[in-house]
Amino acid sequence: FSPIYIENEELNFKNKLNTQRDHDWNGFYTSLRRLSRFHSVIKTGYKYNVRTPATWPGELRFSMNGKLADSDYVVLNQSFDTPRKIGIKINGKIVKDLGYDRTTRLPITVESFGVDNYTCGTHAYDQDTQSITFVLKGSACDLVVYLQDTIQVSMRLDMTVDNFWAGNGPTNFVDRMAGILGINPARIVVVDIREGSTIVDFFITEDDDETKTDGDNDG
């Protein structure tokens, strides 16, 4: 799994990172005794794109090291070529994404959420680009970006979009759908809401005993 590119056009920054050599080989393949590690010097307070021509593994760990203030942060954007759900875990617990803004009726982006509100793991998933944008903040921030097997569902509701949002929008939808299916509401992730009458695209993730670290953000 190599290389990884870290890029920022504003800073004219592009860093190509190759993994460290493994301990030995098993035929044509490495022994996988050493986990792939990619280290880069970056400037805090900026957004970077992370990409690779290789296939992303199921989990990637991100952290910042060095002499950092608690307020120091970077924003990372990472695209995947898979329809699987992309999420974030901290200490093994799933972090809830930013969800929807009831006023604008649009997904909350990391940029619109505001720097002052950033915490370790603040993130937004973009279904159209199959990408995740997330925040690393402070030296204690250590998180995992992971891929999860899902069922993808597109459902048309016999109501207007106005009525959908008047009824507490995605929150009520998730609670009712979870009740019908008899599953944990945390397994249902709404990724798109659009007119016609109302069409809701959502994921149903695999069963997982882990719990969320954050509450509902669609407000």
pLDDT at 17 over 70: yes
Please, what is the Cα angle at 209 between 200 and 199, to 5 degrees? 0
Angle at 148 between CA 144 and CA 149, to 5 degrees: 170
Question: pLDDT digit string (tens) for 38-92?
Answer: 888 899 999 999 998 877 888 889 998 888 888 999 999 988 877 677 888 898 8
With H, G, I as helix, E, B as strand and everything else as coil, classify residue 123.
Answer: strand
Each residue of 157-202: pLDDT tens digit? Answer: 888 888 888 877 888 888 888 898 888 887 888 888 888 788 988 8
